[in-house]
Amino acid sequence: MIKVVRRFRSLPIRTRLALLVAAAVAFGVAAVSVTCWFIVQGKLYQEIDNNLKAQKGPVSYGAVQRAGNNCGKDPKSSTDSPRRSEYYSQVVQANGTVCAFDNSAGTVKVTSSDTDVAKSPKLGVDTLRSGTDSNGDAVRVLTMPLVVSDGPVSGPSVVPNAALVVALPLKGTQATLNDLALLLLLVSGIGVVGAGAAGLAVARAGLRPVDKLTEAVEHVARTEDLSVRIPVEEESEDEIARLSRSFNSMTASLASSRELQQQLIADAGHELRTPLTSLRTNIELLTRSEEMGRPIPPADRKALLVSVTAQMTELAALIGDLQTLSRSDAGTPTDRVQVIALQDTVEAALRRARLRGPELTITADVQPWFVRAEPSALERAIVNILDNAVKFSPEGGTIDVTLKEGELTVRDHGPGIPSDELPHVFDRFWRSPSARALPGSGLGLSIVARTVQQAGGEVSLTPALGGGTVASIRVPGAPTPPPEAP
């Protein structure tokens, strides 16, 4: 059985569907055919039983006497007997002796049910059964008390220790049932074969979109061409259409991800080229001076070393930003997400910002707020926002930080951002023309936006009244920690 199941599972889907349809139709046709055969059999037997019951009634005393002369004999063997009837008619005695009437078609084999009626004859107590005659042919038998219409006692009377047996042959009925069974078997076979063919055709038609999907997947695996799309009817809502739409959506997402990856690599290469070129130029200048024996003046040498150090620091920061951005693109693992106190994260970021801008005045109004996020990533995002505020604030300026009802606002008093540049501030590697001379990779705000979005929040930059910029971060949470939080 296990081998059969394994072989069935190894078959193609369309073959399995065709076999299942054929099996289901075969089961249904078989059930209908068997039910039909038994209904027809019941109707035919009921008609024969009605014909037998029509023979009930008193028997003439003379006929009974003549039957007594035929006890133990087959009426067919008598040459002087009258024309035979289609009925079997005989008298059965209590001891099982059979006495056939003159016109009987033959004798019926006696059973215990017949002798029981003969031993205790009661009007209205009849038995119907299927049996055989003396030649072994099937007959339908009705056994009833023997009632004589005339004789020594006037009027109908029940003869004791005797029963009347009337029977009809079942040969014609059985032939009809056999023909019906053959016809039903033939029709069932044609139906099963037709159902199998129809099931195979339906399976092929139904699985044609799956074949197209398979071809598309194989094409993508072979060529890595993510522009492949499967045509889908707009009004269709079946499983195949949903699967096709999901595949198209997946390939579109993969294509978009690949484009973003390529763009990231191109932008990263462009950003890395500038410090690397400058670093290479400075190192070549130092090396050439050593090779030619013309030492660089100490002040210039010191300036070159400072420039090399700054460029290496810029490279390290850019690589760190790229690593952070790649981790945020991959998503935040659920095991890193936890309930954190946003006010503590803001306080930690404020301490770092005050160290980087000691000449600035940073005011803070921080109220409790608890969120679900990755602690290190969220702190990095807030630090980036504060670093931008420190970078663009004038010397001796003020930075106002507020955390109220889950909204963190950082307001600086710097030059602000032109309105035409606001839509691009969260793009990767985008830097304002006025800020390109300042250190930075152009990834800070992009990291902020991605981190806040993964925490389910929103971030925005808007011009401030009176000059400067207001950075707003809103992360869903609550002023009190949830019960399950430590």
Q: Highest-confidence range of 100-109, 217-226, 418-427, by mean pLDDT?
A: 100-109
Mean pLDDT estimate for the chain: 80
| Coil, strand or helix at 148 | strand
Q: What is the pLDDT of residue 56?
A: 83
Task: Report pTM.
Answer: 0.47
Q: Please tell me the distance from the alpha carbon of residue 330 to that of residue 257, in angstroms, as a whole number.
A: 11
pLDDT, tens digit, for every residue of 14-36? Answer: 777 777 878 888 888 888 889 99
Does the structure show a pLDDT above 50 at 79? no
Task: With beta carbons less than 8 A apart as the criterion, state whether 130 and 119 touch.
Answer: no
Q: What is the pLDDT of residue 433?
A: 55
Structure-token pair, residue 327:
């981790």
Pick from 37-41, 222-226, 372-376, 421-425: least confident: 421-425
Does the structure show a pLDDT above 80 at 317? no
Euclidean distance between the first and the last CA atom of the chain, given in angstroms as a whole number: 56
- State the average pLDDT over residues 229-252: 76
- State the average pLDDT over residues 403-420: 86
Higher pLDDT, 338 or 330: 338
Q: What is the pLDDT of residue 75?
A: 65
Task: With beta carbons less than 8 A apart as the criterion, state whether 385 and 415 touch.
Answer: no
Using 50, 70 and 90 to split pLDDT, how confident is the model at 76? low
- State the average pLDDT over residues 367-383: 86
- State the average pLDDT over residues 67-78: 68
Pick from 291-305, 357-371, 382-396, 464-478: least confident: 291-305
Q: What is the pLDDT of residue 410?
A: 92
- State the average pLDDT over residues 170-198: 87
- Containing 40, the helix (H) or strand (E) segment is helix 13-53
Structure-token pair, residue 144:
């009833």
- State the average pLDDT over residues 376-396: 84
Q: What is the pLDDT of residue 222?
A: 84
Give the percent of the chain with pLDDT over 70. Answer: 83
Phi and psi, residue 150, nearest 5°: -150, 170
Task: With beta carbons less than 8 A apart as the criterion, state whether 473 and 408 touch.
Answer: yes
Does the structure show a pLDDT above 70 at 81? no
Q: What is the pLDDT of residue 308?
A: 78
Domains (range + CATH), the chain: 2-46+176-209 (no CATH), 58-169 (3.30.450), 239-327 (1.10.287.130), 332-478 (3.30.565.10)
- State the average pLDDT over residues 208-224: 79
Task: With beta carbons less than 8 A apart as the criterion, state whether 307 and 282 touch.
Answer: yes
Q: Please tell me the distance from the alpha carbon of residue 140 to that of residue 105, in angstroms, as a whole number.
A: 13
Q: Please tell me the distance from the alpha carbon of residue 339 to that of residue 368, in angstroms, as a whole number.
A: 13
Give the percent of the chain with pLDDT over 90. Answer: 10
Structure-token pair, residue 189:
């076979």
For residue 217, the tally of other CB atoms under 10 A from its CB is 15
- Quick one: how far is CA 158 from the chain centroid? 76
Does the structure show a pLDDT above 90 at 39? yes
Does the structure show a pLDDT above 70 at 152? no
Does the structure show a pLDDT above 50 at 77? no
Q: Please tell me the distance from the alpha carbon of residue 350 to that of residue 417, in angstroms, as a whole number.
A: 23
pLDDT, tens digit, for every residue of 102-125? Answer: 888 888 898 888 888 888 888 777
Angstrom CA distances, 400 to 364, 409, 415, 469, stand at 6, 8, 15, 11
